[in-house]
Amino acid sequence: MKSISDTFETIHAIISALPGEVKAAIVGGYAAILHGLERTTLDVDICLYSGVSHERASDEMFGLLKAHLPERFRAELVRGTLVPDDPFQHDLIVIDDRQGDFPRIDLILARYRWELEAIQEAQVMAGIPLPVVSRPHLVAMKLRSTGLKDESDVVGLMGLMDDEERIKACELARRVGRARKLSRLLTRLPEETEETPDEFIA
């Protein structure tokens, strides 16, 4: 199995080869690890923004990737609107290595304004070729997810933050409609249903 460093370098090379301006940042489990959490993950999640509408971006990005992807990889477009248990309803491009040396790579196409901001404000880390979303933005993403590991990550990430980051995380939690969920996770309050006032990318 290729190292995670090799995987990040390969993803960076693939994205850099695409024409036009494509912004990307590491999210998901590996972002949590890079921010200091001790946990494991089987795939690599990258959030992408290409500057066109979400509907067009899916088909255009998929076409570009197929044209520029090394032969050892295969790509599949998964439309989030067809996956009923996806709380984000993101379109997703899944990249698998035919030789089995690289982990699965999930390219998540940004759908919300706050996700675009997360990519734009992502942090550069030494030795990592792609920027990493900040702890507050990663908490917002994990609050919108439904897994138990995501909830554990939220608590862990909040514990690693300074006061400024915690304030930002609370603001983002309100923005994505998960303020009560964050409060529950931090104080063990009962589950409550919330609205989701996210703003889509125009």
C-alpha–C-alpha distance, residues 150 and 144, integer Å:
9
Range of the domain at 169: 4-187
| Structure-block tokens of residue 192 | 């409550």
| Structure-block tokens of residue 194 | 């919330």
Residue 192 lies in a domain: no
Given a cut of 80, is residue 193 above it in pLDDT?
no
pLDDT, residue 190, reads 45
C-alpha–C-alpha distance, residues 32 and 151, integer Å:
12
| Structure-block tokens of residue 13 | 């090379």
Residue 147 lies in a domain: yes
Map residue 104 onto helix, strand or coil. strand
Residue type, 135: R
- Contact present, 104 and 94 (Cβ < 8 Å): yes
| pLDDT tens string 5-44 | 999 999 999 999 888 789 999 999 999 999 999 999 999 9
Banded model confidence at residue 99, pLDDT cuts 50, 70, 90: very high
Given a cut of 80, is residue 202 above it in pLDDT?
no
Instruction: Specify the CATH number for the domain of residue 178.
Output: 3.30.460.10
Residue 139 lies in a domain: yes
Has this prediction a pTM greater than 0.85? Answer: yes
Strand positions, DSSP E, 28-72: 43-49
Residue 198 lies in a domain: no
Domain tally, the chain: 1
Across 126-149, average pLDDT: 94
Could you give the strand order of the β-sheet that contains 104-109, starting from the edge strand earlier in sequence? 23-27, 43-49, 104-109, 92-97, 73-78
| pLDDT tens string 70-89 | 999 999 999 886 665 666 67
